[in-house]
Amino acid sequence: EEDALLGHRELDLAFMGKEAPHCGFPEAALPKYAEKLVALGHKVGVVEQMETPAQLEERNKKRKEAGQRVDKAVRREICSVLTQGTAPPQGAQATYVLFVCEDLPSKTLGVCFVDVATGCGSLGQC
């Protein structure tokens, strides 16, 4: 409910539903709205559908046979979380985060950089 109010207030989205308040937008608008929320200091969780309606039907069939309650909606999971430190600006090719760790006794440096826009990274020591 709080997320729906936030979406309505910050993004001017239509507020829907009385029993379970919600608001939404097309998936194609995610970069625009996510960037705006992150710029306002919010964390954005990207949730994706993890099964098809046919897979839900099959899963519910097994649950019913086991005497368990069936689910009404397909399974969804948080696939990524965008913050001011990890969200790539719209149109950016790469957004790097660099980590450096010093080990004084062995006089070595550990270095890792990650492109948070693509998830690719590299690790090394010297």
Tens of pLDDT, residue by residue, the chain (126 residues): 688 888 888 998 888 877 888 888 888 999 899 989 999 999 999 999 999 999 999 999 999 999 999 999 999 999 888 888 776 666 666 678 889 999 999 999 999 988 877 778 899 988
Gap between the Cα atoms of 124 and 44, Å rounded: 31
* 3-state DSSP assignment of residue 99: strand
How would DSSP label each residue in 12-72? -PPPB-SSS-B----GGGHHHHHHHHHHTT--EEEEEE-S-HHHHHHHHHHHHHTTPPPPS
pTM: 0.61
